Amino acid sequence: MLFSSVTVAIATIARCGSFRKAADELNISEAPVSKQMKALETACGYLLFERKRGRSVEPSAQGNSILNVAKQTLSLQEKLQADLESAALPRRQNWSFALS
């Protein structure tokens, strides 16, 4: 797959509503997901997700803007993947013949 792990993480966190649930869905531990988002938030200079009571999160106003771009990016990447697969050359078939 061509998907960026950051793009997938943003969309998954927003859909799941928590870093833990997103990590479970992504089959990784929570720490890398949290660290990845913290590093991205530090680089951006604002919070992408508002942390709520009970470990739930939801996109901030700026985070919603980034989330929309992430969703569009994932959609385009899925289309690209499908186009690449449909344009692939047909696989060679092995034929065998018995002569008598």
The reply to whether 99 falls in a domain is no
Sign (positive/negative) of CA torsion 24, 28, 12, 31? positive
The reply to whether 68 falls in a domain is yes
The reply to whether 91 falls in a domain is no
Tens of pLDDT, residues 15-50:
999 999 999 999 999 999 999 999 999 999 999 999
Instruction: Show the domain range for 59.
Output: 5-85
What does the angle CA 88 – CA 89 – CA 95 come to, to the nearest 5 degrees?
A: 140
Q: What is the pTM of this model?
A: 0.77
The reply to whether 98 falls in a domain is no
Number of domains in the chain: 1
The reply to whether 14 falls in a domain is yes
The reply to whether 69 falls in a domain is yes
Cβ 22 vs Cβ 13: under 8 Å: yes
For residue 22, the domain's CATH number is 1.10.10.10
Query: Percentage of residues in the chain with pLDDT exceeding 90?
Result: 67
Beta bridge partners of 59: 49
The reply to whether 49 falls in a domain is yes
pLDDT recorded at residue 1: 46
